Amino acid sequence: MRVLGIEGTAWCASAALYDAETDTVLIESDPYEPDSGGIHPREAAEHMSEAIPAVVDRVLTAAEERHGPDAVDAVAFSRGPGLGPCLRIVGTAARSLAGTLGVPLVGVNHMVAHLEIGRHRSGFDNPVCLNASGANAHLLGYHDGRYRVLGETMDAGVGNAIDKFTRHVGWSHPGGPKVEAAAAEFATAASGAGSEGEKAGSEEEGPESTPGADLLDLPYVVKGMDFSFSGISSAANDAADEGVPVEEICFSLQEHVFAMLTEVSERALSLTGADELVLGGGVAQNDRLREMLAAMCEARGAAFHAPEPRFLRDNAGMIAVLGAKMAAAGDTVAVAESAVDPNFRPDQVPVTWRTGESV
Ligand code: ATP
C-alpha cells in the first residue's frame, strides 16, 4: 500500500508518500517563517494555500515517476488538532485529491501520528509516549482501544512556552533551537569554569552534567502527571527584564522544563508498568531533552526511542504512515464526515489499527 499524506496544522506545509511494502517515506515540506513575532493564524493559512499545492505536486510527480498513474492507494490528512484556518485548507486539498485520484480518504489525528511514528520506527510494542511539541505536551498510554492521556500540560504547550520567552527577548520564531544553542554555550562556559575551579582545588560541585553551573530559581510545577509552564515562561521573562544574561536563563529554562517532562514520564512508566518510552514532537529535536529521558530510562531499565528529526517536527511522513495503518484497517472516512477539528484530542480516536498490525 502507498499513501499520500498531507500535513498543515500550523507552520509546516508538508506532503509525503509512504510505501508500506518497502517501508520508505518521501517527505517534501515548506515551513512558514513569520517575519516577526509568533505564528499568525491568517498568515499561516495563506502560507498553506500557497505551499500545499506545490509540496503535493512534488510528491505526486515523484510517486508517479516511480510507480505510474496508480501510485497512490489512499490520501491521509491531518484532521486536527491545529489552527482552524490551516486545517480547513489541508482538508479541502485532501478531499479533492482523494476524489480526483479515486482513492479513499483517511482523517488522521496529528498527535496520535506524533506517537505512532515513534512506535513504528522503534518497533516497540506498547510504549508510553511523551509528545513534546509546540502547541501540546502530553503523555499517552494505550489501554482498551484508545490512547489515554496519562498527563498533560495545564496551560501552554512546551514549545510555545519556550517561544514565549524568546519572543520576549526579541528572537525570531522558532525560539527552541536558539534556546538550545544558548543553553549549550552557557553550559560549556560554566563547565570550563568548573574544571578550572577543580584544578585550583575547589570542593564546590555544580549539577552533575554541568560542573560549575548554578540553576536560577524558576517555578517547577508538576502535579501528579500533569504540569504547567505558564509560570516559568513569565519568570524567565522577568529574569531577562532584571538583566540576568539570556544564555543563563536559557540554560535554567531548559533544565527546569525538561526535568518536569522527565519526572512525569518516569511516573507514567512506573504507573503503567511499561518498559518502553517513545518521544515525539518538535521539541524532541532538543539533544538535552533526549539526554535526560535516555538517562532516566537507562536508570530504570526501560528502552527509549526518539525518531530522527524529520519525523519529530511537524511532517507529512507521520501522517502517511499512520494513514496507511488506518487504511489497512478499513478506517477511512466519507467526505461528508471528514470535517476538521481544531481541538481533536488523541483520546477521541478509536484505535482501529493495532489488532491486525500489517500494512
Ligand atoms: P503541534 O505538533 O503540537 O501541533 P507545532 O505545530 O508547534 O506543534 P512542532 O513541529 O511539533 O509543531 O513543534 C514546533 C516547536 O518545536 C516550536 O515551538 C519550536 O520552538 C520547538 N523546537 C524546535 N526545535 C527545537 C529544539 N532544538 N529545542 C527546543 N525546542 C525546539
For 254-287, write each residue's pLDDT tens digit: 999 999 999 999 999 999 999 999 999 999 999 9
Residue from 314, 318, 344 whose mutation best tests the ligand 1 pocket (most atoms within 8 A of CB):
314
Regarding whether 179 and 250 lie in a shared domain, the answer is: yes
φ, ψ of residue 43 in degrees (nearest 5):
-65, -40
DSSP E strands in the chain: the ranges are 2-7, 12-19, 24-31, 74-80, 105-109, 128-132, 137-143, 146-152, 221-223, 226-228, 276-280, 303-305
pLDDT at residue 250 above 90?
yes
Residue from 152, 153, 162 whose mutation best tests the ligand 1 pocket (most atoms within 8 A of CB):
162
Regarding whether 275 and 156 lie in a shared domain, the answer is: yes
- pLDDT recorded at residue 195: 61
pLDDT at residue 202 above 60?
no
pLDDT digits (tens, 9 = 90+) for 131-151: 999 999 999 999 999 999 999
- The CA angle 273-276-278, to the nearest 5 degrees, is 130
> Which of 92-106, 176-190, 207-221, 254-268 is the least confident region?
207-221
* CA distance linking residue 240 with residue 167, whole number of Å: 12
- pLDDT recorded at residue 4: 98
**24 is in which domain, residue-wise?**
2-117+311-348
**Other Cβ atoms closer than 10 A to 58:** 15
- The CA angle 104-279-21, to the nearest 5 degrees, is 40
Cα 241 to the chain's mean position, in Å?
30
- pLDDT recorded at residue 214: 85
- pLDDT recorded at residue 12: 97
Confidence of residue 192 (pLDDT cuts 50, 70, 90): confident
Regarding whether 300 and 162 lie in a shared domain, the answer is: yes
CA of 135 to the centre of ligand 1 (A): 8
> Which of 100-104, 186-190, 246-250, 313-317 is the least confident region?
186-190
- The CA angle 86-157-40, to the nearest 5 degrees, is 35
CA of 335 to the centre of ligand 1 (A): 30
357 assigned to some structural domain: no
pLDDT at residue 211 above 90?
no
237 assigned to some structural domain: yes
CB 226 within 8 A of CB 135: no
pLDDT at residue 185 above 60?
yes
Q: What ligand 1 atom has the least distance to the C-alpha of 175?
A: 20
- pLDDT recorded at residue 206: 37
For cell 484556518, name the residue.
85
pLDDT at residue 50 above 50?
yes
Q: What ligand 1 atom has the least distance to the C-alpha of 10?
A: 6
CA of 176 to the centre of ligand 1 (A): 7
pLDDT at residue 204 above 60?
no
359 assigned to some structural domain: no
Regarding whether 280 and 222 lie in a shared domain, the answer is: yes
Q: Is 241 annotated as a binding residue?
A: no
Regarding whether 322 and 296 lie in a shared domain, the answer is: no
- pLDDT recorded at residue 35: 87
275 assigned to some structural domain: yes
- pLDDT recorded at residue 358: 45
Q: What ligand 1 atom has the least distance to the C-alpha of 166?
A: 20
The 3-state DSSP class for residue 76 equals strand
Regarding whether 278 and 153 lie in a shared domain, the answer is: yes
Q: Is 78 annotated as a binding residue?
A: no
Ligand 1 pocket residue status of 177, Cβ below 6 Å: yes
**In this structure, what DSSP letter does residue 153 have?**
B
The count of domains in the chain is 2
- pLDDT recorded at residue 213: 73
CB 174 within 8 A of CB 134: yes
Q: Which amino acid is at 133?
A: S
Residue from 313, 319, 344 whose mutation best tests the ligand 1 pocket (most atoms within 8 A of CB):
313
Q: What is the mean pLDDT of the chain?
A: 93
CB 163 within 8 A of CB 175: yes
354 assigned to some structural domain: no
Can you tell me the ipTM of this complex? 0.98
Q: What's the mean pLDDT in 50-73? A: 97
Regarding whether 108 and 79 lie in a shared domain, the answer is: yes
Q: Is 120 annotated as a binding residue?
A: no
- pLDDT recorded at residue 36: 86
85 assigned to some structural domain: yes
Nearest to 338 by CA among 143, 128, 78, 156: 78
Regarding whether 303 and 193 lie in a shared domain, the answer is: yes
358 assigned to some structural domain: no
Regarding whether 224 and 197 lie in a shared domain, the answer is: yes
**In this structure, which long-range contacts are made by residues 228-231, counting pairs with CB atoms below 8 Å and at least 24 apart in sequence?**
228/153, 228/154, 228/155, 229/137, 229/153, 229/155, 229/156, 229/157, 229/158, 229/161, 229/257, 230/155, 230/156, 230/161
Q: Is 96 annotated as a binding residue?
A: no
Regarding whether 233 and 146 lie in a shared domain, the answer is: yes
- What residue owns the CA closest to ligand 1's atom 9? 282
Regarding whether 75 and 192 lie in a shared domain, the answer is: no
CB 129 within 8 A of CB 143: no
Regarding whether 342 and 306 lie in a shared domain, the answer is: no
pLDDT at residue 248 above 60?
yes
Q: Is 114 annotated as a binding residue?
A: yes
CATH number at residue 77: 3.30.420.40
Nearest to 159 by CA among 187, 186, 138, 182: 138
pLDDT above 70 as % of the chain: 94
Cα 344 to the chain's mean position, in Å?
15
pLDDT digits (tens, 9 = 90+) for 306-351: 999 999 999 999 999 999 999 999 999 999 999 999 999 999 999 9
pLDDT at residue 108 above 80?
yes
355 assigned to some structural domain: no
pLDDT at residue 49 above 60?
yes
Q: How far is CA 197 from CA 2, 29, 190, 218, 317, in A?
A: 59, 47, 10, 26, 48
